[in-house]
Amino acid sequence: MKSSKSIFRIVFGAYLALFFAYMFLPLIFMTIIAFNANEVPQITPWKGFTFMWFGELAKDEQMWNALLNSFIVAFAVVAISVPIGLGGALLLTRLQFKARDFVYGVLVSPILTPGIILGISTFLFWDSYMNVPGGLWTAILGQATFITSYCMLLIMSRAQRFDLTQEEAAFDLGATHGQVFWKITLPFLRPALISSVALAFMQSFDNYNTTLFAIGVEQTLPIYIGTKLRSFISPAMNALAVVFIALTIIGAITYEYRRRRELIKTG
């Protein structure tokens, strides 16, 4: 019995070691390369510690324009996807009609459609039939077609647990539909709405396939990085990755710190 437990611990420990090595070793190597003075992005030969690549990154106007475009597209996608996702979630959880399953399938289908198809179809429709050239607007519409579905599913999972008797009690007390929605329904859905905002923003900011075919001659940050990597792999791209890793760690630490403070206050 003891031998089987020890074998399990060894196997489990080895699995964890391989898992974390697979996850974090590439990030560690990439971080080291960002501080290597070598113009070729590799650890060896080591030519000295430097912040040169961060300076080059800061001077890259094309990168800043692409970053600005990514933020514009992401905020616009959030503004479109979350309200539509909320409407779809309430429609499917509140109303019972014969075509409900069909409507659900239609609303979820964009998730199952390849991003390339969504991007190409969005660009061709607006460019050929509406005479709207590809740009940020078409990228926003292309991304919103499938990100809306993610928001709807996320909000639905919360809306299905809502007790409708709370709304009925409010109506009995003389509340209007608007008051019930803003004072009862929306506060209950707030955690799902906040999560859907974060999900929509990250999905949009990180999207490549759909945006590449829908945006025309414009660039977002993922497209800019992809173009740079195809032409020449510069250590400045590693510096950009290090910046995002640092921002992610800071955000995670901040969130965890605030969460623990709230637990201490409520506890």
pLDDT for the residue 267: 60
Q: Kindly state whether residues 136 and 254 are assigned to the same domain.
A: yes
Q: Is residue 57 part of a domain?
A: no
Q: For residue 112, which amino acid is it?
A: L
pTM across the whole model? 0.82
Where residue 263 falls among pLDDT bands split at 50, 70, 90?
confident
Query: Could you identify the residue written with the tokens 């077609």?
Result: 145
CA 164, CA 157: separation in Å to the nearest integer?
A: 15
pLDDT for the residue 4: 74
Q: Are 37 and 48 in contact (CB under 8 A)?
A: yes
Q: Kindly state whether residues 151 and 193 are assigned to the same domain.
A: yes
Whether residue 19 is predicted with pLDDT greater than 80 in this model: the reply is yes
Q: Are 170 and 184 in contact (CB under 8 A)?
A: yes
Whether residue 1 is predicted with pLDDT greater than 60 in this model: the reply is no
Q: Are 175 and 183 in contact (CB under 8 A)?
A: yes
Rounded (5°) CA angle 244-250-256: 135
Average confidence (pLDDT) over 35-39: 84
Average confidence (pLDDT) over 76-103: 89
Average confidence (pLDDT) over 192-200: 92
Q: For residue 62, which amino acid is it?
A: Q
Backbone angles phi, psi at 232, to 5 degrees: -160, 130
pLDDT for the residue 125: 86
Where residue 2 falls among pLDDT bands split at 50, 70, 90?
low
Where residue 140 falls among pLDDT bands split at 50, 70, 90?
very high
Domains in the chain: how many in total?
2
Q: What is the mean pLDDT of the chain?
A: 86
Q: Which domain holds residue 44?
A: 2-52
Where residue 75 falls among pLDDT bands split at 50, 70, 90?
very high
Q: Kindly state whether residues 25 and 110 are assigned to the same domain.
A: no
Q: Kindly state whether residues 164 and 239 are assigned to the same domain.
A: yes
